[in-house]
A and B are shown apart, each in its own frame.
Chain A
Amino acid sequence: MKLVGRIPVEPLDDERLTNIERRVVAGATDAAAARPVHAPRRYVGFAMAAVAAVVAGVIGWRLGGTTEPAPVVGEALPIKVDTQTERATLDIGDAVIQSDPATVFVVTRPAGGVLVAMTRGKVELEVGKRGDRAPLVVRAGDTDVIVVGTHFTVDYGDGTGDVDVRVTEGVVKVVRHRQEVRVAAGQAWQSGRGVLALADVGGPHGPSAATGAQGATAAAGTIAATDPQRSGSGLEIDMGTAPDVLHNRTAQVPDQRVPGGPRSGSGATSGSGATSGSGATGARNVTEDPKDPMRDIKKLIRSQRVEPALDVGKEDAQAIGEYHKIIREQDGEAESRAFYSIAVLQHLRLGRNADALNTLDGYFRRFAQGKRYTDYLPALWLRVRVLCLQTIDDRCRAAAYRYAHEVSGTPAAAVAERLTLTE
């Protein structure tokens, strides 16, 4: 039964469409007019930002004497930054942007997202988990780096050449010429070279190892953050292909700072580094909280081998598409393998733990009865890993109990047993 493309859509004639359009436009305009005016909310936001800025200023003044440059908090957007001869730190609430000398960029906040448009130089970003909010995008020339919560650098040199992206935590998406690639922690991406292992790229990381001529000084710096709409001074920023209207956007209030700041969220993405072709412990690139009382046992969990995903010779998203195809078309061992592989990629490569758990739940429902396939036990262990690396709670302990009940005499079984005894 192949029906795609076989049922032609009856076209609507122009007159009918024009009538519909007229009614829709009238209705939409009425709806917009009937909505409450949102300006007051915006003013409340401005007031809150102003209070936050004053509080931050007072705190900074009271803590005076530090050699670190005080981050700018609560600036109204858009913000134009020209770091000139010194490094600078800009805190926009949901991200901290450190920039090298001679770096120029503009920050705007379209509809809850953040757009950092670079003209030249190098920035290092630490982005808190964005949760439900729209993504943060760094634009360097024709390259877009899309991030939902991570730590990475973007080096755009003098603003005319290649772009170099290096990810130290989490995952970012790099989009260039409509091609999208995922760059995970421990990887780099360079225009012209694509994705590389960070170790293979060499060279220093971060803005402190600046690329510019004046990059040697990494001392305390100041930031020249100006609102181009108000001051009219400063450099003209080339916004690339972004619509002109972006230049004319009215200033908006930045989001409130997430409790704990970006740093607390940036380590939440689970470790990556698993390749589809080889086994992985996933222990690399996972930020550990030194105060976590469960740190040792989590370390043990990470050190256990995770059965690798089926190698279909494709990148993550495409690979998942292939797995879905296998699930649709095949049965038994192959279907089990594909199911499991999706969960592995979701957990280890994409950091989508909730999805990984859903997939695993689906796996156990699907294969609840009958023959147990090769990936049944690895799937049980993966479930322990996903749950217990998040929180060691009853759910984690139940998963560990189930695993320990099925497997004995292996290091993973010992870890599972230990997990069941934790309080």
Chain B
Amino acid sequence: MTAAAYVEDVLLVDRCLTGEPAATRELFRRHKSRVHACLFRVLGSNRDMDDLLQEAFLQVFQSLRGWRAEASLATWVDRVSVRVAYRYLSQRGRRVQTEVLVDDEAGPAFEAGPGARRQMARDGVKRLYAVLDELSPAARLAFTLHEIDGRTLAETAALVGSTVTATKLRVWRARKKIETAAATDPVLSEFLEPRGADVIPFDDSKEAP
């Protein structure tokens, strides 16, 4: 974080704390995409997304005074978003996917064209999130933030308030679970390991520290 960015963050927060609507709007516009993307990747397509996005930002503004400017404001906003997602997952008893999967028994249309492939990718995503619904909220957060949102284990651990080792273990367990599900689900399997793609196989034998 450069000093300029730091000073900008600090001054924007200062203005928000005085209740200045323009500053509130500016903070919302600066961070709405990242918050939405973070919630989407953790929770998947979700009918409550509007409420969750709103909830995340209200939490941000309510606890803004607690931002101590140690990390960038973006990181702090991410932490709040993750907390909102965690609470949602916990309250919903892990069941998040609201859309019904169709054609569950259909095998992968390997010979189909691009349209069918897109449809299959969509199905793959749905099935992936269906498996994620079975995970604990902590494991789901760790997996989605690391494997889907592309954050490092250290970042993920910091966001979920856990150690790197525990996070690594949760990610590893989630991967095992997904792989187990993929073994009996050709659509999910094809989505996870597309044929012909350069995919690094998951090392099953490695013991998680």
Contacts and interface: CB of A to CB of B under 8 A. Distances in A.
Interface of A: 1-7, 9-10, 12, 16-17, 19-21, 23-25, 27-29, 31-33, 35, 110-113, 115, 132-135, 137, 139, 144, 146, 175, 178, 180, 241-243, 245-246, 321, 324, 327-328, 331, 358, 362, 365-366
A2 B69 CA distance: 34
Interface stretch (B37-45, B77-85, B86-94, B133-141): B37-45
A245 B11 contact: yes
A243 B45 contact: no
B23 to A, nearest CB: 9
Q: Does more than half of chain B's interface fall in helix, strand or loop, or is it mixed?
A: helix
A25 B209 contact: no
B61 A137 contact: no
B61 A31 contact: yes
Give the size range of B's interface with the partner.
35 or more
B40 A366 contact: no
B50 A132 contact: no
B28 A134 contact: no
A24 B23 CA distance: 12
Give the residue among B19, B192, B199 with the most A Cβ atoms within 10 A.
Answer: B19
B24 A29 contact: yes
A326 to B, nearest CB: 13
B164 A362 contact: yes
A29 B148 contact: no
A253 B149 CA distance: 41
- Give the interface centre of A111, A133, A137, A246 by most chain B CB atoms within 10 Å: A111
Given A110-B10, A134-B70, A137-B3, 12 more contacts: A4-B150, A5-B150, A12-B36, A21-B28, A21-B32, A23-B54, A111-B67, A132-B68, A133-B68, A134-B68, A135-B6, A175-B2
Contacts of A32: 16-19, 61
B68 A27 contact: no
Contact of A16 (B28, B40, B50): B50
Contacts of A17: 32
